Structure 1
Amino acid sequence: MFRIKTYNQISVKGLNRFPRENYEVASDIGQPDAYMLRSHKLHDEALPATVKAVARAGAGVNNVPVADYTRKGVVVFNAPGANANAVKELVLAGMLLGSRGILPGMRYVQGLTDMTDAEEMSKLLEKEKSRFAGNEVLGKTLGVVGLGAIGSMIAETALALGMKVVGFDPALSVEAAWRLPNQVSRMENLQALLARSDFITLHVPAIDATRHLINGESLKSVKKGAVLLNFAREAIVDATAVVASLDAGQLGKYICDFPEPQLLNRDDVYAMPHIGASTEEAEENCAIMVADQLVDYLENGNVLNSVNFPTVSLDRSSGTVARITFSNDNVSGVLGHVLSVLADNQVNVIDMVNKSRGETAYSIIDVAVAPSAAVIEAITAVDHVISVRVI
């Protein structure tokens, strides 16, 4: 019986992916095998030795101490792309709000509470509507910073709206490149993208390299009057620099999902209450994805969509009696030493796979006989081995 401890409100459709005959799922479980959460912060919480995996039902994992968990052999999963459509739609809404006088116009109308004559109101609005005229997005240039799952979807939608799209992503993967529409023009650097774009949308992770990616220096390159959209992470944008650019008349508007006190009460800032991925569909998709990943890992040792372990999958071979998985520091000789332990104890290996990611390596080994406790203890004692499981 596997025990899953949940934090936050997890979609029932995700929780239902755990077969009840093999899983106990609750928010108050002791000695859990895995955590499943959304926004709950784990940094200050002690990690039980029983925890083998943590699944974040969303894309970002800044609420999880990934480096610490990696050193303990705990796999951290996320759900890349599961909430992409929800974010894409909100970015599109933000772009349209930024191009037309929709919000100012609506606020103006709601302020006409003293008027009681509909005809008089109609005449007034006909006279005043030019104050809220804006521009169409057709023919404008959208700059997409970060061309992953969300960025590529937004690029495709913008092209369908008749926009020109330029993109910048220094870490563009082969998989992401295949997803990207060929009409997207790749920019060599951020400054070139900022200088060409009427709208800029950010879709990069919050890591040390992207902290305050948009800052006072980079904003010097922005096209005058451009609209900056941030539905990625708060830390990517230096809000103080944005305010300065808005005050100087360089940046036209800032539309974001991360309100800060200095951004309030400004007509040129539209701040939303962090609702980018807050749709029923997105929450369901994220919960289902990470639940399936947890089941496959706990039952088979397979790893998919981990932020700290390599992607590893192995079908069970005929004749397999047990499966051994282990993680280790990515140094030479560890796998050979483990295989020697198995050979010395007459544990025949049927099939195996070994992969690494950064400083971490992970192996799955199918064997023909169940390893004894002494064999597992010997593997655990191998230098640089971090964690061992028998499935």
Structure 2
Amino acid sequence: MYQIKTYNAIAKEGLAEFGDNYRINQTDNPDAYLIRSVDLHDHEFPKNLKAIARCGAGYNNVPLDKALENGTVVFNTPGGNANAVKELVLASMIIASRNIVAAANWSANAKPGADITLRTEKEKTSFNGTELLGKTVAVIGLGHIGSLVANACLDLGMKVVGYDPYLTVEAAWRLSDHINRATSIADAVKDADFVTVHVPKNEETTGLIADAKIAQMKPNTILLNFARLGIVDNKAVVEALAEHRLGKYYTDFSDATILHNDDIVIMPHIGGSTIEAEINCARMAAKQTIEFLETGNIINSVNLPNVSAPFESDHRITLIHKNIPNMIGQISTYLAGRGINIENLVNKAKDKYAYTMIDIDEIDQATQDEVVLNLEQIPAVTRVRILTHKK
């Protein structure tokens, strides 16, 4: 019986993925968390906690190193809300190019009177906009969301330039052949009418779009950030707008620096806030958690490598351990000394930690308990589990 604890409102369709072998929110010492935006940095992880599944792409609210020290795998759900973010980006581009916010505000504040129709016809010319057709958009980052945005802009008749130095084979397959590939951000943005950013936030991308990059854009460029707060330097944006070196700025992340600026539109972090996206992410998170708890396979982890292999043997030993020399040697030597035959072994590392799965023959419960106890005594090992194949 596995125990699952949820934080925030998790879509019921996701929780429905858990079967009779699971209990939801019945203990504070669960096997796994399902979360959305709750901040876990000051949270004390129970030792029994084997997994944290974030129902969404961002995971800045989870302390990854602290989780690893506890032997806890952290998952996210990349692509689960990608379509929702894509649609909001496209909507923002249309809103920006057609002056929709200013026009709607004028209509809402117009004083009623007999000449309202005449005044509307006279004033509407001040809200003349431009069409997306034929315009150039630079898409920085071509992952799940960026690739959808790029393809959709192409369908709208726009010229699309993409930049992603870490483009994966999987992402490349999703992209249309008609998207131009830039070799640098400067090359991507120099002729762009729109620049939209879709990269993960890390040390390398924090402040990615700042003074130097903005200086390479056209003065009327519309900049969009629906990725993460901090990827675009808000102070640089405000200065560029004031000096008419940038057209407008649309973002999903509020910050005191950009408040009360007529050239900036701030959404209240609603990029992934659709019913469909919440259901998709909850289902993905639940399925990944079930797969890990029952088979040991890791899919979409953000603090350990993805490791997956068919579970066909009687038992599977899984270990989270530090990525240091002779770990596999120590583990296999111990198992050989106990007369346990290794039928299959998979080991992958990510930065300072590694994950090992070892498939073995049938052993009794007493031997399983002894194996777990002894392998846990290896100083660099943070968690050992033995799973039984469901036949």
Q: Which band: TM-score by shorter chain? A: over 0.9
The equivalent of 2:7 in structure 1 is: 7
Report matched runs for 1:213-292 at 5 Å: 213-292=208-287
Q: Deviations over 1:64-93 (max 9, x none)?
A: 001221233211000000000000000000
Aligned partners of 1:300 and 1:46: how far apart in 2?
Answer: 26
> 1:89-168 alignment to 2 at 5 Å?
89-115=87-113, 117=114, 120-168=115-163
Cα distance in 1 between the residues matched to 2:84 and 2:298? 26
Corresponding letter in the other structure for 2:335: L
Match of 2:164 in 1: 169
Deviation at 1:383, TM superposition (A): 4.5
Q: In terms of mean alpha carbon deviation, does 258-267 or 361-370 score higher?
A: 258-267
Contact 2:31 2:51 survives alignment (8 Å) = yes
Shift of 1:369: 2.4
3-state SS of 1:236 partner = coil
Partner of 1:345: 338
Root mean square deviation of aligned Cα: 1.4
Deviation at 1:126, TM superposition (A): 1.5
Per the TM alignment, residue 358 of structure 1 is displaced from its structure 2 partner at its CA by 2.5
Q: Is the 8 A contact 1:334 1:383 kept in 2?
A: no
Structure 2 residue 386 is matched with structure 1 residue 390: yes
**After the TM superposition, which segments of 4 or more aligned residues of structure 1 sit over 4 Å from their partners?**
none
| Aligned counterparts of 1:342 and 1:123: Cα–Cα separation in 2 | 87
Secondary structure of the residue that 1:386 maps to in structure 2?
Answer: strand
Q: Which moved more, 1:203-212 or 1:216-225?
A: 216-225
Residues 1:35 and 2:28 are matched in the alignment: no
Q: 1:191 touches 1:221 (CA, 8 Å); kept in 2?
A: yes
Identity of matched residues, %: 45
Query: How far is the alpha carbon of 1:339 from its aligned partner?
Result: 1.4
- Per the TM alignment, residue 182 of structure 1 is displaced from its structure 2 partner at its CA by 1.6
Query: 1:377 maps to what in 2?
Result: 373
Aligned residue-pair number: 384
Cα displacement string for residues 129-155 of structure 1 (whole angstroms, at most 9, x for unaligned residues): 110001011111100111100000000
Aligned to 2:54: 56
Residues 70 and 196 (structure 1 numbering): CA distance in 2 closer, same or farther, change over 3 Å? farther
1:174-185 to 2 correspondences below 5 Å: 174-185=169-180
In the TM superposition, what are the counterparts of 1:319-330 in structure 2 within 5 Å? 320-330=313-323
> 1:214 touches 1:237 (CA, 8 Å); kept in 2?
yes
Please state whether the residue corresponding to 1:208 is helix, strand or coil: coil
| TM-score for the superposition, normalised by structure 2 | 0.95
**Helix, strand or coil: the match of 2:215?**
helix
Written as runs of structure 1 = structure 2, the 5 A alignment for 1:191-210 is 191-210=186-205
Structure 2 segments unaligned to the other structure (5+ residues): none
Equivalent AA in structure 2 for residue 23 of structure 1: Y
Contact 1:354 1:364 in 2 (8 A): yes
Residues 7-44 of structure 1: CA distance to partner in whole angstroms, max 9, x if unpaired? Answer: 0000000011111x211112x62211111100000001
Give the aligned residue type for 1:330. Answer: N
User: Where does structure 1 lack aligned partners over 5 or more consecutive residues?
Assistant: none
TM-score, with normalisation over the residues of structure 1?
0.95
Question: Which of these residues, 68, 83, 91, is aligned with residue 81 of structure 2?
Answer: 83
User: Which string of whole-angstrom CA distances, capped at 9 and with x for unpartnered residues, describes residues 240-265 of structure 1?
Assistant: 11110000001100011112233233
Tell me what 1:24 maps to.
23
- Confirm or deny: 8 A CA contact 1:348 1:369 kept in the other structure: no
Cα distance in 2 for partners of 1:242, 1:175 equals 33
SS in 1 for 2:347: strand
Aligned residue in 1 for 2:348: 355
